[in-house]
Amino acid sequence: MQGLHILAEFHGCACAGGPMEDAPELGRLCEAACTAAGLGVVGRLFHAFGTPDAPAGATGAVVLAESHLTVHTWPELRAVTLDLYVCNFSRDNRAAAEAVYAALADAFRPARTVRRDVARGNPAVTPSPDAGIEVI
């Protein structure tokens, strides 16, 4: 269960339409990025908000043998949030995670990114005294 979790937000995306609004296209993009990086895709599920005439973003998940990729788009804000969690059960997947991240950044072309890297599943992490809740 130990691994890398990248939490990222893309702001000011130059990408208009396409995966920003179209759920099947977003799903294909995400699955292709994971497959190209050598990650094991076990399924994907994507959903579009709004209507074809008035798209309101897309959302979904690629479930991986190594954990998951989730992406949510806000076309009205030209923004995207993504989470990529890759555990290192059978190998170190850090390079694969960076490859997926780069592929999504290439597709959405953000002007600004906010990214946090979290080490998951490390039993050495000491929770804070208040019932193990650590606020960051």
Instruction: State the residues that interact with a second copy by CB under 8 A.
Output: 1, 5, 7, 9, 11, 42-47, 49, 59-61, 63-65, 67-68, 70, 72, 74, 77, 79, 81, 83, 85, 87, 112-118, 120-121, 123, 125, 127, 131-136
HEC string for 47-59 = EEEECCCCEEEEE
In the bound complex, what is the minimum distance in angstroms from residue 131's beta carbon to a second copy?
8
Catalytic-labelled residue, pool 5, 13, 15, 72: 72
Annotated catalytic residue 34 = no
Give the residue carrying structure tokens 């072309």: 109
Residue type (1 letter), 24? P
Could you tell me the sign of the dihedral formed by the alpha carbons of 30, 32, 37, 39, in that order?
positive
- Nearest Cα neighbor of 17 from 55, 49, 69, 72 is 55
Shortest CA distance to 89 belongs to which of 65, 117, 53?
A: 65
The active-site residue out of 5, 15, 30, 67 is 67
Specify the residue, 9 or 32, whose C-beta has the smaller distance to a second copy. 9
* Residue 67 annotated in active site: yes
Cβ distance to a second copy smaller for residue 58 or 107: 58
**The pair of three-digit structure tokens given for residue 2, joined into one six-digit string:** 């130990």
Instruction: Work out how close the CB of 42 gets to a second copy at its nearest, in angstroms, rounded to a whole number.
Output: 4
CB of 58 to a second copy, least distance (A): 10
128 is catalytic: no
Decide: 3 and 87 in contact? Cβ < 8 Å. Answer: yes
Q: Which residues are known to be catalytic?
A: 67, 72, 87
